[in-house]
Amino acid sequence: MENEVLRIEHLHKEFEGNVILKDLNLTVRRGEVIVVIGPSGCGKSTFLRCINALEDIQGGQILLDGHPVRRDAKDVTQMRQKIGMVFQSYDLFPHKTILHNITLAPEKVQKRPRAEAEKEAMELLERVGLADRAGDYPRQLSGGQKQRVAIVRALCMHPEILLLDEITAALDPEMVHEVLEVVVSLARLGSTMLIVTHEMAFARAIADRVLFLDGGEIVEESSDPKAFFTKPQTPRAQAFLKTFDYE
Amino acid sequence: MDMSVINSYIPLYRDALLLTLRIGWQGVFWAFIIGLGCTLIRQLRIPVLRGVVTVYVELLRNTPLLVQLFFLYFALPKIGIRISAEVCGSLGLGLLGGAYMAETFRSGLDNIAPVQEESALSLGMSRYQTLRYVIFPQAASASMAGILANVIFLLKETSVFSVISLMDLMFTAKDLIGMYAKTIECLTLLVMFYLIMLLPVSLLGTVLERRLRFAEFGN
């Protein structure tokens, strides 16, 4: 496919004899937003971590722009630069200011001039409404603000694709919204994203495609999120979505 | 207590203090270098050298400095390696301190959440860059109390130098007591001079610890 960014073929992952992911296949096109949902322990987070080469894989391959991503490959740091990731727990560097959290990798890894990196960082911070916090340390920010900075930090590396791993799971409800708004605006600007989330309303609104993962395999895949969330085809997806229903 | 005796001894103690400080700080310096080297080897998981580090740390931590100094000073010359008492003192202290520092740095590193390393890696940083810019600065502040305790411990351990006839504080005090039997005066001076040497280190440490607080995890 011409505008394909990421292709995953027969991905197999096991850990100490337990199969965590089996025979996963996925193709992500440029600008596409894919939401991965599923019960906890289904392998969603591991799936994202494999794509960013934070985990060894035991079979299959992950191709970014046709180039393999492997944890033990020499060019793994180059590949990771093209794959942005935001984690569930606040992963900002506590000993660096917000601005330096963002510019550290552009300066040290991409060898960009400090002034240019800072300029872009400030523009991005402006976009998420945190330009006035550039000089603060992470501990001075709320959880929602920290996650917005974490997104900016990933964006500043100009990744081909952004992986978001339950980025609102540790947040108070009123902070979830401010973070998800940022994600929605990124989607509008055409960012390619692979999102693991438990926020079903958000998933439904933002997804171009939904993957339902259970027991390490894709149980249901739908390119019509509205239809999927109203009427999932498989019994396992039906049962899972029912757990969000209180009527 | 005889003040005139004390006054006449002060210059001797001052010289001993300077010698103790010189060797002590050289030892502390080498302890830092060796400790950092061991930590790098462990963190970068360099094969073979990792094993060497483990053996070194356990060997040095589990034998008394006195024995180590004897070994350096009396056993090495037997195989043709001759070093001065002063080099022997700072080397012995550095080797012992290196093992302690390596363990202190390790416990500091263990306090850093794994997601810190992963988020640095996910930004495309190499393992070395991750250690240098993300992990070590945080570990340094987490280890500060331990590092300070090590420094004070090492400076105090200089008191065993007298066995290899270095004229440190302890040697001077024992020597004077042996010659003139002014025990009270000599011991009082000894305590005072150790305090002069170590209190500033404690104070400096407290200030440093407060300064480095910003690296604490804040949620």
Alpha-carbon gap, residue A223 to A233, rounded angstroms: 13
Q: Among A177, A155, A143, A158, which residue's Cα sits nearest to residue A86?
A: A155
Given this model, what pLDDT does residue A66 score?
A: 87
Given this model, what pLDDT does residue B218 score?
A: 39
Given this model, what pLDDT does residue B214 score?
A: 54
Residues constituting chain A: 247
Angle at B97 between CA B96 and CA B100, to 5 degrees: 95
φ, ψ dihedrals at A46, nearest 5°: -60, -40
**Residue A203 one-letter amino acid:** A
Alpha-carbon gap, residue A205 to A24, rounded angstroms: 25
User: Could you state, in chain order, the average pLDDT of each consecutive group of 10 residues for chain B (219 residues)?
Assistant: 81 87 92 93 90 94 89 85 86 93 91 91 93 89 87 89 82 86 87 91 84 53
Alpha-carbon gap, residue A55 to A70, rounded angstroms: 9
Return the domain boundaries, chain B: 17-166
CA distance B39 to chain A (A): 20
Per residue, the 3-state secondary structure of chain B, as one string, reads CCHHHHHHHHHHHHHHHHHHHHHHHHHHHHHHHHHHHHHHHHHCCCCCHHHHHHHHHHHHHCCCHHHHHHHHHHHHHHHCCCCCHHHHHHHHHHHHHHHHHHHHHHHHHHCCCHHHHHHHHHCCCCHHHHHHHHHHHHHHHHCHHHHHHHHHHHHHHHHHHHHHCCCCHHHHHHHHHHHHCCHHHHHHHHHHHHHHHHHHHHHHHHHHHHHHHHHCCCC
**A92, A94, A108: residue with CB nearest B133:** A108
Contact A181, A129 (CB under 8 A): no
What is the fold of A4-242? Answer: Rossmann fold (3.40.50)
Give the tens place of pLDDT for each residue, A171-182.
Answer: 888 889 899 999
Give the tens place of pLDDT for each residue, A84-95.
Answer: 999 988 789 999
Q: What is the mean pLDDT of chain A?
A: 91
Given this model, what pLDDT does residue A58 score?
A: 92
- Give contacts of B122 with chain A, Cβ < 8 Å: 52, 54, 80, 83-85, 154
Given this model, what pLDDT does residue B217 score?
A: 43
- A62 pLDDT higher than 60: yes
Which residue is listed with tokens 């004070």?
B152
DSSP letters spanning A189-227: TT--EEEE-S-HHHHHHH-SEEEEEETTEEEEEES-HHH
Given this model, what pLDDT does residue A156 score?
A: 95
Alpha-carbon gap, residue A206 to A189, rounded angstroms: 12
Return the domain boundaries, chain A: 4-242
A81 contact B CB<8A: yes
Alpha-carbon gap, residue A195 to A151, rounded angstroms: 12
- A194 pLDDT higher than 50: yes
CA distance A147 to chain B (A): 12
| A95 with B215: Cβ contact below 8 A | yes
φ, ψ dihedrals at A209, nearest 5°: -145, 145
Contact B141, B194 (CB under 8 A): no
Given this model, what pLDDT does residue A247 score?
A: 67
Alpha-carbon gap, residue B199 to B202, rounded angstroms: 5
Q: What is the number of other CB atoms lying within 10 angstroms of the CB of residue B75?
A: 10
- A159 pLDDT higher than 60: yes
A169 contact B CB<8A: no
- 1.20.1440.130, 1.20.120.1200, 1.10.3720.10, 2.30.30.60: CATH of B17-166: 1.10.3720.10
Give the tens place of pLDDT for each residue, A82-126.
Answer: 999 999 887 899 999 999 999 999 999 999 999 999 999 999 999
- A223 pLDDT higher than 60: yes
- Give contacts of A73 with chain B, Cβ < 8 Å: none
Given this model, what pLDDT does residue A2 score?
A: 60
Alpha-carbon gap, residue B213 to B208, rounded angstroms: 9
Given this model, what pLDDT does residue B219 score?
A: 33
